[in-house]
Amino acid sequence: MVISNFNDPAFFSQIHYLCFMTDFLDQDIKFLPGVGPKKAALLEKELKIKNFRDLIYYFPYKYVDRTKIYKISEIHAQMPYIQVKGKIRSVESVGLGHKQRLTARFSDETGSIELVWFQSIKWQIEHLILNKEYLIFGKPSEFNGKINVVHPEMETEEEQKLKSAGLFQAFYVTSENMKKKFLNSRAINKLQLTLIQLAKGKIRETLPSHLVKRLKLYSLEEALFNIHKPENTTSLKNARFRLKFEELFIIQMKIIALKHNRENKFKGFRFEKVGFNFNHFYKDFLPFELTNAQKNVLKEIRRDVNRNIQMNRLLQGDVGSGKTLVALMAMLLAIDNGFQSCLMAPTEILAQQHFQTISNFLNGMSLGTALLTGSTKASERKEIHDSLKTGKIQILMGTHALIENTVVFKNLGLVVIDEQHRFGVAQRAKLWQKNDLIPPHVLVMTATPIPRTLAMTVYGDLDISVIDELPPGRKPVETFHFFENKRKQVYNFLKQQLEKGRQIYIVYPLITESEKTDLKNLEEGFRHITELFPEVKTGMVHGRMKPVQKEQAMEKFKAGKTKIMVATTVIEVGVDVPNASVMVIESAERFGLSQLHQLRGRVGRGAEQSYCILMSSYKLSNESRKRLATMVRTNDGFEIAEVDMKLRGPGDLEGTQQSGIGFDLKIANLGKDGEILKLARLMATEILDDDQLLQKEENRVLLENLKASKQNEFNWSSIS
């Protein structure tokens, strides 16, 4: 059969009905033996499990080896799980009502432990048999100097042989509400084992046979069975690989297909010439020699805007790496080809900073620039609107005010979006739609380094450029980690820096004191700093202040009227203060790596050596130690981003949630599965390059899988 139209709704409807609506896995979960209507309602409410497919794709979060049987004399409370063979010697019920508990003395030839139940006590009393051999499994703990196991799993030797559950015990995440209704991890495991018995021979393959054969993958049925009931480490490894690969492969297929679609559908303005303004600026106004990284990015942009298709490029670079200068030179290309440009920033302070920076760069060149924000006066706003329509304004900078319907361009050719994750998809779309027929080129800038694997997923349809060099004269920020016992030395160092005329940031995680934490708080810190340095003017800025108050406080600091700025993370993306040479971060263990790196980027903007001081308590988790050690070790934002994702996972990284793209990865981990992701992207690229509409018979199953997939449709791709 030849598929004539990839987007034909009638064809899709037929495929979906024939191949999926009649699928065994689409049966309502209440029809699975052991479930019924009440448990089905609970599974849907707590875990969003509605049918057999949802259940079989609800994967274990860990496995415990059930081959090891301990002697009671070997057990201690720090062990995660134990399995012991022995006999119940005595049973005792203690207390009444909701305080009732059941205890049993369980022993083998080396000693005894206590088994404890707080629920189902009547059932346990009726079914426990004294002096009969049981195999018990559970988590040991210590109470009153004795080792006990609360609510152990118990089986007779005959039951264990009949169950044949494989070598590993699978564990599933459940809720407190489910546990109260006896739907704990063990109950989910039983349902999974029931389901895979019923599903034998009924699970359809979802990947093309040529791909399964080429990569030597498990079939989908093999993978699903072995993920819930692995017989050995090899089968578990192979099952995981198959399921992770498919999950990432489907995402990459959609991303690359959308990129192809955008390139085919959306033509772009062609900037054919490098004209007077670009060359004049480069020769006579460029303040310093471009870094090789900046030159390479400009070449990539130049190639994009000369191809007759819409540019959709992500520009990554640490704070101070020179992204704004590259964006300006791209705007000059647009002007030389008769087009206008705009730059949208997330805050008024940042928009003003861009306006000031670009105005300084262009000082002496007769180009029309303007700033439009919420604070722009009505008379000035009208003048800007009129000048935009006539083309007198060639570069417009601003905030969300740029997307208002009253803002009409004569011929918008380039849109630059700074710190794009702070804008919603719909907001970015309004800028992109400022032209009726041909969309403007899009350059997205971010100072938040994005790990390679995350960029291949979240921004997989964009072309990516990286500025990984600092401009000449910039010195890397030196970072130190100190505990409380070094605070006096830190204050002495701050005094020395103030005497040299430098400015200082001191950042706290909280605004007011919290009863639940022992963190240093902003207000107490502000009082303490003003007492320590009474002769120095100190400012304060935090998120609860009105925007006007925040901007006034930051402007005073920028102008040098205040020497110390006590703040929360609102200064994470803020004004450029080259004279600020020290960043002190209090309770640094409470910040994420991405935040710490962004805060450090506030200093080191001038030619003087700058410093970042991380203050923490003595009690640090292993994860906190790794974060702080990473900050001290490296200034490389991309290395920091990789460590951050491995520690926290992609869903927590700044930008992924705000962007409107939610990850719903059931088994793959972008922090750990980079190699699988690379393979998935390579295979997806090869298949779509060879068969863009998946019309070949060998790819039919893949088309069906893509069409039936309920994952995000990635409609945001065309607007980055």
User: What is the residue extent of each domain of the chain?
Assistant: 68-164, 276-467, 478-634
68-164 has CATH 3.10.310.50 classification: no
Which range is most confident: 74-83, 84-93, 700-709? 84-93
Which range is most confident: 58-62, 160-164, 212-216? 212-216
The torsion of the CA quartet 452, 455, 460, 466, rounded to 10 degrees, works out to -80
598: tokens are 């962004």
Q: Is the pLDDT of residue 6 over 60?
A: no
Q: Is the pLDDT of residue 392 over 60?
A: yes
SS3 label, residue 416: strand
Low-confidence winner among 76-90, 430-444, 622-636 (lowest mean pLDDT): 430-444
The type of residue at 610 is S
Note the pLDDT tens digit of each residue in 96-119: 877 888 999 999 999 999 999 988
Asked, colleague to colleague, whether 68-164 and 478-634 share their fold, the answer is no
SS3 label, residue 334: helix
- State the pLDDT at residue 711: 45
pLDDT interval class at 30 (50, 70, 90)? very high
> Rounded to whole angstroms, how far apart are CA atoms 348 and 346?
7
Low-confidence winner among 440-449, 646-655, 700-709 (lowest mean pLDDT): 646-655
- State the pLDDT at residue 687: 94
The residues near 106 (Cβ < 8 Å, ≥ 6 apart) are 72, 84, 86, 87, 88, 89, 112, 113, 114, 115, 134, 136
- State the pLDDT at residue 166: 57
Residues 196/229, Cβ–Cβ less than 8 Å: yes
**How many C-beta atoms lie closer than 10 Å to residue 247's C-beta?**
21
- State the pLDDT at residue 246: 95
Q: Is the pLDDT of residue 694 over 70?
A: yes
Residues 397/354, Cβ–Cβ less than 8 Å: yes
Instruction: List residues bridging with 412 in a β-sheet.
Output: 340
Low-confidence winner among 91-105, 207-221, 285-299 (lowest mean pLDDT): 91-105
- In the chain, pLDDT over 70 holds for what percent of residues? 87
Q: Is 461 left (phi over 0), alpha (psi -120 to 50) or beta?
A: alpha
The residues near 240 (Cβ < 8 Å, ≥ 6 apart) are 227, 667
Helix residue ranges, H only, 419-536: 425-432, 452-458, 487-499, 522-532
518 vs 155, higher pLDDT:
155
Helix residue ranges, H only, 339-424: 348-361, 378-390
Average pLDDT, the chain: 84
- State the pLDDT at residue 234: 92
> Rounded to whole angstroms, how far apart are CA atoms 567 and 587?
13
Q: Is the pLDDT of residue 601 over 60?
A: yes
**Cα distances (Å, whole numbers) of residue 47 to 43, 175, 247, 649:** 5, 8, 19, 20
Longest dimension (CA), the chain: 97
The H-or-E segment that residue 163 falls in is: helix 157-163
pLDDT interval class at 261 (50, 70, 90)? confident
- State the pLDDT at residue 705: 85
Which range is most confident: 124-128, 169-173, 584-588? 584-588
SS3 label, residue 470: coil
Instruction: List residues bridging with 466 in a β-sheet.
Output: 316
- State the pLDDT at residue 504: 95
The torsion of the CA quartet 419, 421, 422, 426, rounded to 10 degrees, works out to 120
Q: How crowded is the C-beta side of 425, counted as CA atoms within 13 Å?
A: 14
Place of tokens 């044949």: 164
- State the pLDDT at residue 425: 55
pLDDT interval class at 2 (50, 70, 90)? very low
> Rounded to whole angstroms, how far apart are CA atoms 619 and 602?
27
The residues near 147 (Cβ < 8 Å, ≥ 6 apart) are 75, 76, 77, 113, 114, 140, 141
pLDDT interval class at 423 (50, 70, 90)? low
Supply the DSSP symbol for 477: P
SS3 label, residue 81: coil
Residues 543-559, mean pLDDT to the nearest whole number = 84
**Length of the chain, please?**
720
- State the pLDDT at residue 529: 93
**Cα distances (Å, whole numbers) of residue 709 to 16, 26, 246, 251:** 10, 13, 12, 10
DSSP3 helix / strand / coil % (the chain, rounded to 5)? 45, 20, 35
> Rounded to whole angstroms, how far apart are CA atoms 539 and 561?
9
DSSP string, 11-37: HHHHHHIIIIIT-GGGSBGGGSTT-HH
Low-confidence winner among 272-276, 315-319, 450-454 (lowest mean pLDDT): 450-454
276-467 has CATH 3.90.226.10 classification: no
The type of residue at 351 is A
547 vs 698, higher pLDDT:
698
186: tokens are 């063990």
Rg of the chain over Cα atoms, rounded to whole angstroms, equals 31
- State the pLDDT at residue 708: 77
Supply the DSSP symbol for 521: B
What does residue 499 show for φ and ψ, rounded to 5 degrees?
Answer: -65, -30
Residues 481/588, Cβ–Cβ less than 8 Å: yes
Which range is most confident: 367-376, 540-549, 571-580, 654-663? 367-376
Low-confidence winner among 3-12, 174-183, 522-531, 578-587 (lowest mean pLDDT): 3-12
Residues 670/453, Cβ–Cβ less than 8 Å: yes
The type of residue at 263 is E
- State the pLDDT at residue 575: 66
The residue among 593, 594, 545, 591 whose CA lies nearest residue 566 is: 545
Q: What is the fold of 478-634?
A: Rossmann fold (3.40.50)
The type of residue at 642 is E
- State the pLDDT at residue 211: 96
pLDDT interval class at 652 (50, 70, 90)? very low
